[in-house]
């Protein structure tokens, strides 16, 4: 990475660092990210991570987000943690991926859905060397093993072991990456 690129990376991540987000060396966050009123002190980004434009990164209550070294995250990604979202090393998340470790409460006694609050978080873990396709949604409590591939437009609502190729709504194991 040349000196000009390092300067651009440094200035783009300053607002996130001001909110408490920690970055490893040569890590980058694209312009237009959205966390204006959010405390990011529980967000850790390791070395050589790229986060694309328009990312929405949020921790609710004491939620934590950790992103492993060498991971690339596409544009328009949503990461929202009430418990913990852990993304392994050398992962690739395509654009418009949503990873939320909690849901919105369905409370009929609230006067509006906005006043219902959110459910208890259940940790999400994505192993090392995983590829998550475009428009994928990963829900609370999911663990993906190492070397998993998730097809576009999938909704992942349960856990899968290492080397799984999964797709669909709801996502199902199609085959192994070893096949």
Give the residue from 81, 88, 78, 20 showing the smallest Cα distance to 49.
88
Of 174, 87, 101, 170, the C-alpha closest to 132 is 87
The answer to whether the beta carbons of residues 62 and 42 sit under 8 Å apart is yes
Which domains does the chain show, CATH number per domain? 3-176 (2.160.10.10)
The answer to whether the beta carbons of residues 112 and 129 sit under 8 Å apart is: no
Residue 104 designated active-site: yes
Is it the case that residue 12 has pLDDT exceeding 90? no
Q: pLDDT digits over 17-55, tens only?
A: 767 788 888 887 777 666 545 667 899 999 999 998 888
pLDDT in tens, 95-111: 999 999 998 777 666 66
- Pick the catalytic residue from 48, 84, 102, 104: 104
pLDDT in tens, 139-162: 999 999 999 999 999 999 999 999
| pLDDT tops 70 at residue 134 | yes
Please report the pLDDT score of residue 141 as a whole number.
98
């Amino acid at each position: 990475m040349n000196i000009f690129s390092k300067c651009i990376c440094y200035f783009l991540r300053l607002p996130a660092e001001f909110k408490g987000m920690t970055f490893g060396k040569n890590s980058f966050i694209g312009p237009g990210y959205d966390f204006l009123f959010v405390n990011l002190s529980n967000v850790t980004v390791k070395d050589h991570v790229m986060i694309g434009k328009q990312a929405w990164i949020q921790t609710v209550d004491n939620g934590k987000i950790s992103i492993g070294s060498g991971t690339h995250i596409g544009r328009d990604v949503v990461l929202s943690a009430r418990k913990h979202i852990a993304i392994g090393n050398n992962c690739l998340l395509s654009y418009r991926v949503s990873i939320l470790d909690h849901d919105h409460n369905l409370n009929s006694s609230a006067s509006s859905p906005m006043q219902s609050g959110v459910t208890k978080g259940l940790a999400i873990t994505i192993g090392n060397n995983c590829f998550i396709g475009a428009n994928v949604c990963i829900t609370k409590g999911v663990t993906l093993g190492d070397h998993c591939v998730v097809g576009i437009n999938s909704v992942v609502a349960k856990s899968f072991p290492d080397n799984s190729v999964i797709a669909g709504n709801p996502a199902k194991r199609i085959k192994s990456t070893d096949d």
